[in-house]
Amino acid sequence: MIIESDDRPLVLVFRTSLLPLSETFIRNQVLAFRRWRPMLIGLRYTGGLELSQLSCQLLSSWNLRPIPNFLRALLRELNLAPPGVRSYLRSLNASVAHVHFGTDLVALWPMLNRLDVPILTTLHGYDINTHAEHWRRSWRASRKYPQRLLEISRDSRVRFVAVSEAIKRRAIEFGLPEERIFVRYIGVDIEQFAPSGLPMRERPRRILFVGRMVEKKGPSILIQAFAEVRRHVPDAELVMIGDGPLLPGCRALAESLQLPVQFLAAVPNAQVQQEMRQARVFCLPSIVAANGDAEGLGIAIVEAQAAGVPVVTSSRGGVGEAIEDGVTGFGFAESDVGALSAALIRVLGDDDLAAEMSTASRERACRLFDLQKCTGQLESLYDQSALRR
């Protein structure tokens, strides 16, 4: 139960768009706050996630006249905030500001840089992994992103939250100050993603993929590996959940290989849970995209572990952090189709191994990725930050 107390300190949680379906983890984290009172602040609604349980505010709707796009772009280029926004944010009397994604920190900095509060920014993956050359080739508002993020990082009020040790290492390589980078796992609701359904030994030999159909998730690699899996495990199944630009190509690849892949596109979180209850193994065959974008620590990996589903992954941050290789699942070198198919065949073909990994997966998730524990650790970082004001 959330303690509704007006005297809890206020944290402003910023995301430019509130909130796409793929960012359920942000909503769940905010709902898990206990000692801090959160308010979501954004520039626009996406119409994605249901936010009625949360306190939300759009900076473009409270008392501002609409700003033409060309003027908004000019203000951003000059590092200036729209009139009145800073005074409004100051009037909220927040104790901490928490921004999700380094890209949003840069975009919102003109509004944040005059606030007398500590500012924490969660780094999730693409915002720190993407190559500088890619940003320089981007449209006008993004081309100076790496330079501006480094400039902002010199402000002593700014601290960074890395979603994995892998992201922290990358942030240090990027040039962010190591002493102000803190690893905090986001966590998952271990009651919502609890083991249920058929015992692992009785489940169909089904592989489950959950993720956006984009390059860094490696969906086509899984389809290629599935062709080899079917030669050894003829009754193997593959269910792929997610939408994105690579979905048509993945459908075409499965058809060309004559593989019975079930594509479910984007589905609600409740249906993801249902699919977890029927899967024998979860697979996220991540790669580093051409622009450098790479997985931070895929939340779907953690959800699968909590649900007691063994995981096969090449995700950075997945092996050694989310999973224990050989105990709760298997890691493999990215793009190694042979190693991926071998790992999947092993879990699908060995009932005892699958059951043992299922038990170990649940134990690890409860110990390291319980949403309440992880959010409590984030709130403690808020406490520390507020004391440094």
For residues 233 and 325, state if they share a domain: yes
Spell out the residues 6+ positions from residue 185 whose beta carbon is closer than 8 angstroms to its own. 163, 164, 297, 302, 368, 369, 374
Rounded CA separation 202/278 (Å): 10
4: in domain: no
Same structural domain for residues 166 and 229? no
* Predicted local confidence at residue 2, as pLDDT: 47
Residues 54, 40: contact at Cβ < 8 Å?
yes
pLDDT exceeds cutoff 70 at 361: yes
Which one, of 275, 269, 282, lies nearest residue 362 by Cα? Answer: 282
Same-domain status, 348 and 215: yes
Please state, in angstroms and rounded to a whole number, the distance separating the CA atoms of residues 347 and 215.
25
Rounded Cα distance between 145 and 123, Å, is: 14
pLDDT of residue 63: 47
Q: 104 and 226 share a domain?
A: no
Q: Which domain holds residue 321?
A: 200-368
Same domain, yes or no: 268 and 174: no
- Is residue 155, in this structure, part of any structural domain at all? yes
- Structure confidence at residue 267 (pLDDT): 87
Residues 297 and 264 reside in one and the same domain? yes
Q: What is the pLDDT of residues 229-285, one digit of tens each?
A: 999 999 999 999 999 999 999 999 999 999 999 999 888 888 999 999 999 999 999
Domain of residue 218, CATH code: 3.40.50.2000
Q: Is residue 219 a part of any domain in this protein? A: yes
Mean pLDDT of 183-188: 96
Q: Would you say residue 29 has pLDDT above 50? A: yes
The answer on 137 and 35 residing in a single domain is yes
**Is the residue at 243 inside a domain?**
yes
142 lies in some domain: yes
Query: Same domain, yes or no, for 69 and 161?
Result: yes
Answer yes or no: is 223 within a domain.
yes
Domain count, the chain: 2
**Per-residue tokens: 78:** 């000059």
Give the CA angle between residues 107, 17, 110 to the nearest 5°.
20
What is residue 346's DSSP assignment?
A: H
- What's the pLDDT at 346? 97
Residue 5 confidence (pLDDT) above 90: no
- Residue 319, pLDDT score: 72
Predicted confidence band of residue 78 (pLDDT cuts 50, 70, 90): low
Is 1 part of a structural domain of the chain?
Answer: no
Confidence of residue 72 (pLDDT cuts 50, 70, 90): low
Residue 192 lies in a domain: no
pLDDT tens readout for residues 125-136: 999 999 888 888
Q: What is the pLDDT of residues 294-323, one digit of tens each?
A: 888 889 999 999 999 999 999 877 677 889
Q: Are residues 332 and 246 in the same domain?
A: yes
What is the average pLDDT score of the chain?
90
Q: Is residue 175 domain-shared with residue 268, that is, in the same domain? A: no
139: pLDDT strictly greater than 80: no
- Which residue reads 């249901």 in tokens? 50
How far is the C-alpha of 223 from the C-alpha of 221, rounded, in Å? 5
* Rounded-to-integer distance, Cα 314 and Cα 328, Å: 14
Q: What is the mean pLDDT of residues 356-360?
A: 97
Which percentage of the chain shows pLDDT scores above 90?
74
Judge if 55 and 119 occupy the same domain: yes
Question: pLDDT tens, 140-156?
Answer: 667 889 999 999 999 99
Asked which of 32-41, 81-90, 206-215 is least confident by mean pLDDT, the reply is 81-90
The amino acid that residue 354 corresponds to is: A
Mean pLDDT of 14-43: 93
Q: Which residue has 């699968």 as its token pair?
A: 304
167 and 255 share one domain: no
**Side-chain-facing half-sphere of 222: CA atoms under 13 Å:** 37
pLDDT score of 268: 84
